[in-house]
Amino acid sequence: MSKDDQDVLATFGAADSRIDIDLGAIAHNWIYLDSKSSKNTRTAAMVKANGYGLGANDVGGALYKTGCRQFFVANLGEAISFRSHMDTINATDSQIMVLHGCQRGQEHDMRVYRLTPVLNDLEQLSRWRLFAQNANETMPALLHLDTGMTRLGFDPDQTDWLIENKQALNNLDITYVMSHLISGEITNGSANNVQKARFDEYHSFFAGMKASLANSGGIFLDTDFHYQMTRPGIAIYGVHPCGKDYALQQTDGLKPTVAWHARIIQVQNAPAGAMVGYGGTHKLTRPSRIATVGIGYADGYHRSLGSKAYVNILGHRAPVIGRVSMDSITVDVTDMPRNIMQKAETVALLSDLYSIEDMADDASTIPYEILTGLSQRANRRYADYL
């Protein structure tokens, strides 16, 4: 067994896979993204979906140490969990913003846990304002204006009404007016300029309020898109929003943040003509050596990766063959040097030889889905940077 494999296996524990999360790389990525804006622009962090699958508490704590003070989550449940953790590490001045807004019956918890709802329509606005009036307090909020996504945010009719009835914002401290880019990752996309023009028009009616438009992709557009706050998500976690080819052009840019390893459970010899896996979808054309690896779709390893993906065995790529099972995959190691297989105890599913972008391409999906789909069966190891 190699020293690298010994180090990996030592932290597997009772699990058959392990996910390494580099908090130093996450901190580096946030600093890099922050450096792309002026000092008048704050860089927030998306930690929704449990920090894109990597652990919101650990990620949030590392980013707070790095200087981040503004965080976005999707819903109240995520927000309460994240606030509770941030308070335990004395990060009490964090602003935690809830993208889905304040739903009916959530007003009390929003206030108790010091959360800032992103108000998406007049119903949410009216409910939050009424709660503020009854509490005789001024409540924080963001206004989300839809400029083309047609997903969340005040639609054009509601925005027009609000412009004419700004008294509806009484008792509210609107910290930002925001919108969301449809295709910020397309650096020469005309849709970005159309949205920006619409956003600027809307924003002009809310003089004095700060603005936010740029997601990860928007940060790589002209700085006119940055306003007073950017909201990176996937870029913090090491994936360039404009794609792998664009990322390769950046010499000082984003760093990968995650590696994924799994045990080799068994290696067996198989004759030519043998079928591999469910349905016998892969037929061996030669005498082969097949490694069974303890990872499957129950771990978040996509079924569509069967007979497409590769793993890294001590610096050598080997193909995944046959169907992906619930708890295992099969890998053809016939061409692997014999001395390598004598030492190998694990494979790397994500590595410098097979990136998350490669995996997403082979699975016909996006890196977001790979990250957020990682199950809790794996042991997680965090490399701290402090």
Q: 119-155: per-residue pLDDT in tens?
A: 999 999 999 999 999 999 999 999 999 999 999 999 9
Per DSSP, helices labelled H in 15-168 are 23-35, 48-52, 56-66, 76-88, 107-112, 122-135, 156-164
- Domain's final residue, options 196, 211, 246: 246
Residues 342 and 19: beta-carbon distance below 8 Å: no
pLDDT greater than 90 at residue 257: yes
Of 186-195, 268-277, 298-307, give the lowest mean pLDDT range: 186-195
- pLDDT value of residue 1: 56
pLDDT band at 32 (very low <50, low <70, confident <90, very high): very high
Catalytically active residues are 48, 278
Please report the pLDDT score of residue 248 as a whole number.
60
The pair phi, psi for residue 146, each rounded to 5°, is -75, 120
DSSP class of residue 224 equals: G
Residue 349 confidence (pLDDT): 98
Which domain does 163 fall in, by range? 36-246
Check if the beta carbon of residue 113 is closer than 8 Å to that of residue 80.
Answer: yes
- Whether residue 50 is contained in a domain is answered as yes
* Mean confidence (pLDDT) of the chain: 94
Question: Do 233 and 345 share a structural domain?
Answer: no
Verify that 154 and 238 share a domain, yes or no: yes
Please report the pLDDT score of residue 187 as a whole number: 80
Interatomic CA distance for residues 25 and 254, integer angstroms: 8
Same domain membership, residue 99 and residue 212: yes
pLDDT exceeds 80 at position 11? no
Say if strands 17-22 and 258-270 run parallel, antiparallel, or are unpaired: antiparallel
| Alpha-carbon dihedral sign for residues 149, 154, 157, 162 | negative
Say if 379 falls within a structural domain. yes
Instruction: Give the residue among 126, 132, 107 at the shortest CA–CA distance from 117.
Output: 107
Termini Cα distance of the chain? 31
Residue 251 lies in a domain: no
Q: Which residue has the higher pLDDT, 37 or 252?
A: 37
**One domain for residues 230 and 271:** no
Q: What's the pLDDT score for residue 190?
A: 86
Is residue 30 a part of any domain in this protein?
no
Residue 275: which CATH number? 2.40.37.10
Q: Are residues 241 and 277 in the same domain?
A: no
C-alpha to C-alpha distances, 203 to 146, 160, 180, 216, 285, nearest whole angstrom: 12, 12, 14, 21, 65
Same domain, 126 and 46: yes
- Report CA-CA distances (Å) from 173 to 7, 42, 98, 142: 51, 18, 15, 8
Q: Residue 4 pLDDT > 90, yes or no? A: no
Final residue of a domain: which of 246, 272, 298?
Answer: 246
pLDDT score of 251 more than 60? no
pLDDT at residue number 17: 96
Residue 181 maps to which CATH number? 3.20.20.10
Q: Please say if the pLDDT value at position 102 is more than 90.
A: yes
Considering its fold, how many domains does the chain have in total? 2
Average pLDDT over residues 350-371: 97
Q: Are residues 214 and 102 in the same domain?
A: yes
Helices 76-88, 56-66: crossing angle, 10 deg rounding: 50
Q: Is the same domain home to 225 and 313?
A: no
Share of the chain above pLDDT 70, in %: 95
C-alpha to C-alpha distance for 199 and 212, rounded to whole angstroms: 10
Residues 48 and 131 in one domain: yes
Give the H/E segment covering residue 174.
strand 172-178
Within a domain: residue 270? yes
Of 51-65, 237-251, 292-306, the range with the lowest mean pLDDT is: 237-251
What DSSP assignment string belongs to 281-321? -EE-SS-EEEEEES--GGGT--GGGTTT-EEEETTEEEEEE
Q: How many CB atoms lie within 10 A of CB 186?
A: 16
> Has residue 21 been placed in a domain?
no
Shared-domain flag, residues 63 and 186 = yes
Question: Tens digit of pLDDT for each residue in 154-187?
Answer: 999 999 999 999 999 999 999 999 999 999 988 8
Same domain, 224 and 275: no
Are residues 266 and 221 located together in one domain of the fold?
no
Q: Which residue among 180, 212, 246 closes a domain? A: 246
Identify whether 352 is part of a domain.
yes
Looking at residues 204-230, what average pLDDT do you find? Answer: 96
20 domain-assigned: no
Tokens of 54: 């990597």
Whether this prediction's pTM lies above 0.75 is answered by yes
Residue 8 has pLDDT above 80, yes or no: no
Length in residues, the chain? 386
Mean pLDDT throughout 52-70? 98
